[in-house]
Structure 1
Amino acid sequence: MHMLTIGAFAKASRLSPKALRLYDELELLRPARVDPDTGYRYYTTGQLERARLVAWLRRLGMPLARIREVCALDPAAAATEIRAYWARVEAETAVRRDLAAFLVDQLSQTPEMSRKDTTMLELRYAARSDRGRVRPENQDTAYAGGRLLAVADGFGPAGAPASGAAVEALRFLDTEEVPAGDVLNLLDEAVRGANDAVRDAAGGAGDSGGAGGAGTTLTALVWTGSRLALVHIGDSRAYLLRDGALFLITHDHTVVQSMIDEGRLTAEEAVAHPQRALLLKALPGVTPPNAELRLHDAHPGDRYLLCSDGLSTVVPEPRIRALLTETPSPADTVLALVAEANGAGGPDNVSCVVADVVER
């Protein structure tokens, strides 16, 4: 049997040696022989067909976890799977196209246009937090006011005090009118205060993310009259419903999401992954906390949803979109969302804040 060194095989398959080593680790493309003394990898010419298939699928953008599944199938089944994958890519591309249009529209807003809307818009809002059907206590905190919307999902032995402290540290923003030009700086300072407050509330429970640790996520919006400033850390979420389309405007700070981003895990595999709740970021964390801060222009008719993962992990996004679209008032909507999560088993605490941007 003719053997190729990893360098020769890389050249023949158009895969880099670095990629081949990664595919070996992932058991996607194992070498035919590994030298027991040097650890050097050797491949057979018969492996070139599989290697080229892997290269082609990577060029399609297919995640490594799914490529492993496709390569294990017979040719007909693999073709069916690739067809299904590409149909999904096209559907997701359409969603990203809508998101790109949304971002272009948002970034094209001039300061004059924003000032023109300042005296014309306001928020109508509601918040609800529920223990769910399984957990013995509610460690979430949800808050909605005329200028501040917030959801925090506590964890660990002092999770409830931690989430409450995070939101309480931002409460002063609900009573002060904040110019849009200053809101991100003020919000950054407020999150630093929240980080300290959560650390104090957690007491001796340890740092977030550690064994037995206590802490909280935090996702909040601050209203300036024409814009909403977003702060986000953890895996609670913020959604925007605009013109019938639902946009997720936060990114989960979790180990599983990072694996999806790297192509090491599919979204389907993430649902059952044993580390799906393991956070990469939370409060208390480093000082200053590494939170996301962004500014969003508001349009009349926009509807915002903040929620803990007790909603997003059990209620599919199409169903969330339907409830946000079909239920008129924020108060009725938060009731419907919580009921939907509990109807799906209510495995976790669930908190929702819904706010509508309306003309005065």
Structure 2
Amino acid sequence: MILEFFSATDVGRARDNNEDSVALDEAARLIVLADGMGGYNAGEVASQMLTSFISTELGRWLKDPGREARAGEVRRAMDICVDNANRAIFNAANTNPRYAGMGTTLVLGVFRPEGLLLGHVGDSRAYRLRAGRLMQITRDHSLLQEQIDAGLLTVEEAAFSSNKNLVTRAVGVEDTVLMELHLHEVQAGDIYLLCSDGLSDMLDGDTLAQLLNGNPALPEAAQALINAANDNGGRDNIALILARAEGRQRTEGRGWWPFGRRGGN
């Protein structure tokens, strides 16, 4: 599987600091996105702790003992790494008053021969664009999603709800965390979008699909998504990772690499 990656973050139009964080390890085929929460700069601390911890610890394992691991072993390694990161953030929040109550969402992806192992906690999302059609492949851990599932709100009503940012799971807020983890088949031509709610709250699925379909180069697609989110209000920080799966090798002269290209703001 040949992969191309691109990441970007933006502070948005309403915030002074950026509490979103992303990390890529192309050699390990590992992508991580986090959206922090908490007072002062605590959300920024939590998200950066999480992405740094996972990219360092899990990335090292995937490139060495985990290189030949089976999917079940990789799942276990992902769970252990997230659990250890959760404890580190939780302990920091409970030993430093400045960080009290901090936490973060998470979307974590590992591309393997079997497919994409995708884990998430909270309301940061992953989407898949296949044959021009966009599908959300994570389900928010949020009060709003629970109300939709219970039939108390329609999806249309939820778009105007005041409870958009109330998550029911987050990394670092308790001494344990449950990451939802699934394996997704990957097909040639697929594009995967991981994003914080600073993007998904500003743009609906049709708009996301239109911008991805209309901008074949990943850097241009990322910038188009950020610009559109800011044009619609930019009420939160914006973070995204794009990953495209290719079915065959292309030459470096045409702008393609075995593990793709990395960039960002």
Classify 1:333/1:313 alpha carbon distance in 2 versus 1 (closer, same or farther; 3 Å). Answer: same
Provide the TM-score with structure 1 as the length reference: 0.62
Amino acid at match of 1:232: H
Contact 2:102 2:173 in 1 (8 A): no
Match of 1:149 in 2: 31
C-alpha distance in 1 between matches for 2:225 and 2:53: 26
Where structure 2 has 5 or more consecutive residues not aligned to the other structure, the ranges are 250-265
Asked if 1:187 corresponds to 2:78, the answer is yes
User: CA offsets per residue over residues 275-323 of structure 1, 9 Å max, x none?
Assistant: 2211111011444411101112211111100000000011111010111
Classify 1:264/1:301 alpha carbon distance in 2 versus 1 (closer, same or farther; 3 Å). Answer: same
Q: CA RMSD in A?
A: 1.9
Match of 2:182 in 1: 294
User: CA offsets per residue over residues 149-179 of structure 1, 9 Å max, x none?
Assistant: 1110001120001001111121133342333
Asked if 1:167 corresponds to 2:167, the answer is no
Paired residue secondary structure (2:117): strand
Paired residue secondary structure (2:152): coil
Contact 1:163 1:198 in 2 (8 A): no
Paired residue secondary structure (2:140): coil
User: CA offsets per residue over residues 29-85 of structure 1, 9 Å max, x none?
Assistant: xxxxxxxxxxxxxxxxxxxxxxxxxxxxxxxxxxxxxxxxxxxxxxxxxxxxxxxxx
Amino acid at match of 2:120: H
Paired residue secondary structure (1:135): coil
Amino acid at match of 2:177: P
Amino acid at match of 1:326: G
Please state how far the C-alpha of 1:201 moved relative to its aligned partner.
4.1
User: CA offsets per residue over residues 7-46 of structure 1, 9 Å max, x none?
Assistant: xxxxxxxxxxxxxxxxxxxxxxxxxxxxxxxxxxxxxxxx
Amino acid at match of 1:189: I
Select the structure of larger CA radius of gyration: 1
Amino acid at match of 1:139: E
**Higher relative contact order by CA 8 Å / sep ≥ 6: 1 or 2?**
2
Alignment of 1:317-332 (within 5 A): 317-332=205-220
Amino acid at match of 2:81: A
Selected match of 1:202 from 76, 85, 93? 93
Classify 1:283/1:205 alpha carbon distance in 2 versus 1 (closer, same or farther; 3 Å). Answer: farther
Amino acid at match of 2:150: E
Match of 2:13 in 1: 133
Alignment of 1:311-350 (within 5 A): 311-350=199-238
Asked if 1:257 corresponds to 2:139, the answer is no
Query: How many pairs were matched up?
Result: 236
Identify, as 1 or 2, the structure richer in helix: 1
C-alpha distance in 2 between matches for 1:222 and 1:170: 11
Contact 2:12 2:230 in 1 (8 A): yes
Match of 1:68 in 2: none
Where structure 1 has 5 or more consecutive residues not aligned to the other structure, the ranges are 1-120
C-alpha distance in 2 between matches for 1:324 and 1:201: 38
Please state how far the C-alpha of 1:200 moved relative to its aligned partner.
3.6
Contact 2:124 2:140 in 1 (8 A): yes
Match of 2:101 in 1: 213
Contact 1:184 1:295 in 2 (8 A): no
Paired residue secondary structure (1:274): coil
Provide the TM-score with structure 2 as the length reference: 0.83
C-alpha distance in 2 between matches for 1:205 and 1:329: 43
Paired residue secondary structure (2:194): strand
Paired residue secondary structure (1:348): coil
Q: Runs of 4 or more off by more than 6 Å in structure 1?
A: none
Match of 2:263 in 1: none
Contact 1:161 1:202 in 2 (8 A): no
C-alpha distance in 1 between matches for 2:171 and 2:217: 32
Contact 1:159 1:215 in 2 (8 A): yes
Match of 2:257 in 1: none
Classify 1:203/1:160 alpha carbon distance in 2 versus 1 (closer, same or farther; 3 Å). Answer: farther
Classify 1:129/1:201 alpha carbon distance in 2 versus 1 (closer, same or farther; 3 Å). Answer: farther
Alignment of 1:238-253 (within 5 A): 238-253=126-141
Match of 1:48 in 2: none
Classify 1:198/1:153 alpha carbon distance in 2 versus 1 (closer, same or farther; 3 Å). Answer: same
C-alpha distance in 2 between matches for 1:145 and 1:301: 21
